[in-house]
């Protein structure tokens, strides 16, 4: 059987194809009885929406954009997967989802209301700001996740990374660790700055002055975590614990330690951040901070779709709490250790 079209349904229902389009999209202009009759006919014919046809009738693209700062470096597979899953749970087959890296664009002129009904920006860096302003100026419904911004008319949902890093460092201190290193995230990323600030705040609250030699640069990937741990293990006064600003870097750090005969957590404790898919399954299972990326992405998609469909959404800002996840990679130590 050839593909069923809106015109086929319209003929069977005895209405115009515009009425069918509106009914299938829950338009309030169509009375409930007609809407149910049309949906029943569509269901009996196994009708699959043709987005191009819908866009012509309703002047909409049925495309949603999910934009990351970059898809090349600094966006882990776990982070990408959690964001995609959260958004997909909401939009299902109601929209086409287009995933892009902002840094792939040399010009934004293809980003407009004809191309996108709405946009979600998973913002990792202030370098995203020109793109966000461009989309906002063109009145494209816009949600910014992950990075706190101050812009009228833009919905903003962010995880509290700083408090998560503070609680992790505080936990390491409660376990008796006083000399704690940090492997920082990618330079220029807002999350990198927030996590380091949380680490520094916790040390200062405990009366410990942070040491520059214990702050190692990272890139949010396995390799940078590995290389940073190599440098940490070469320090004359080795720290007893290392807080890694991502689980990917923590995994690299654990590998570097193992290759040098340094046991985690017996010889050195390692903590991460993100609670990625494998964090509970590596050996030792990783103590980390859970960021609600999937939950935040789901909430962002819900707000965006609600605004597109109903032109109304309640609040413009929301902060998502992070959670300390205690596993096996951190060992309490005593004064004599």
Tell me, yes or no, whether 71 and 189 share the same domain. no
The CB density around residue 156, as the number of other CB atoms within 10 Å, is 22
| Domain-embedded: residue 335 | no
Tell me, yes or no, whether 72 and 36 share the same domain. no
Tell me, yes or no, whether 135 and 242 share the same domain. no
Tell me, yes or no, whether 235 and 303 share the same domain. no
Tell me, yes or no, whether 67 and 13 share the same domain. no
pLDDT higher than threshold 70 for residue 126: yes
Tell me, yes or no, whether 71 and 184 share the same domain. no
Q: What 3 state SS string does 127-190 have?
A: HHHHHHHHHHHCCCCEEEECCCCCCCCCEEEEECHHHHHHHHHHHHHHCCCCCEEEECCCCCEH
Tell me, yes or no, whether 178 and 283 share the same domain. yes
The percent of residues in the chain predicted with pLDDT above 90, rounded, is: 60
The pTM for the full model equals 0.73
Residue with the larger pLDDT of the pair 127 and 312: 127
Tell me, yes or no, whether 172 and 285 share the same domain. yes
Q: Which domain holds residue 107?
A: 63-158+293-319
Query: What CATH code is carried by the domain that includes residue 221?
Result: 3.40.50.2300
- What pLDDT, on a 0 to 100 scale, did the predictor assign at position 212? 96
Tell me, yes or no, whether 230 and 285 share the same domain. yes
| Domain-embedded: residue 328 | no
* Number of separate domains in the chain: 3
pLDDT higher than threshold 80 for residue 335: no
pLDDT digits (tens, 9 = 90+) for 4-63: 788 888 888 899 888 888 888 777 678 888 988 988 898 888 887 665 555 544 567 889
Query: What CATH code is carried by the domain that includes residue 18?
Result: 1.10.260.40
Span 101-107, average pLDDT:
88
pLDDT digits (tens, 9 = 90+) for 182-196: 999 999 888 999 999
User: N- to C-terminal Cα distance for the chain?
Assistant: 75
Tell me, yes or no, whether 243 and 302 share the same domain. no
pLDDT digits (tens, 9 = 90+) for 266-276: 999 999 999 98
Tell me, yes or no, whether 211 and 92 share the same domain. no
């Amino acid at each position: 059987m050839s593909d069923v079209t809106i015109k086929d349904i319209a003929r069977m229902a005895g209405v115009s194809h515009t009425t069918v389009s509106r009914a299938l999209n829950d338009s309030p202009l169509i009375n409930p009885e007609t809407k149910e009759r049309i949906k029943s006919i569509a269901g009996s014919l196994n009708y699959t929406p043709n987005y191009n046809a819908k866009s012509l009738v309703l002047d909409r693209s049925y495309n949603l954009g999910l934009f990351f700062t970059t898809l090349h470096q600094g966006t882990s597979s776990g982070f990408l997967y959690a964001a995609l899953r959260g958004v997909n749970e909401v939009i299902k087959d109601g929209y086409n989802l287009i995933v892009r890296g902002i840094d792939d664009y040399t010009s934004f002129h293809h980003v407009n209301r004809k191309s996108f009904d709405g946009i979600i920006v998973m913002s990792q860096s202030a370098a995203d700001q020109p793109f966000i302003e461009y989309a906002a100026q063109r009145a494209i419904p816009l949600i910014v996740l992950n990075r706190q911004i101050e812009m009228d008319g833009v919905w903003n949902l962010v995880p509290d990374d700083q408090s998560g890093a503070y609680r992790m460092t505080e936990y390491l201190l409660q376990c008796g660790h006083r000399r704690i290193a940090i492997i920082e995230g990618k330079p220029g990323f807002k999350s990198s700055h927030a996590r380091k600030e949380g680490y520094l705040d916790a040390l200062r609250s405990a009366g410990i002055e942070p040491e520059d030699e214990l702050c190692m640069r990272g890139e949010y990937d396995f390799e940078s975590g590995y290389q940073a741990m190599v440098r940490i293990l070469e320090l004359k006064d080795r720290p007893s614990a290392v807080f890694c600003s991502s689980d990917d870097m923590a995994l690299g750090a654990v590998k570097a330690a193992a290759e040098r005969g340094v046991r985690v957590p017996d010889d050195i404790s390692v903590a991460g951040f993100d609670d990625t898919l494998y964090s509970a399954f590596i050996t030792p299972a990783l103590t980390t901070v859970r960021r609600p990326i999937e939950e935040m992405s789901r909430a962002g998609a819900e707000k965006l779709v609600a605004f597109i469909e109903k032109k109304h959404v309640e609040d413009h800002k929301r902060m998502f709490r992070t959670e300390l996840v205690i596993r096996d990679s951190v060992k309490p130590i005593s004064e004599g250790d």
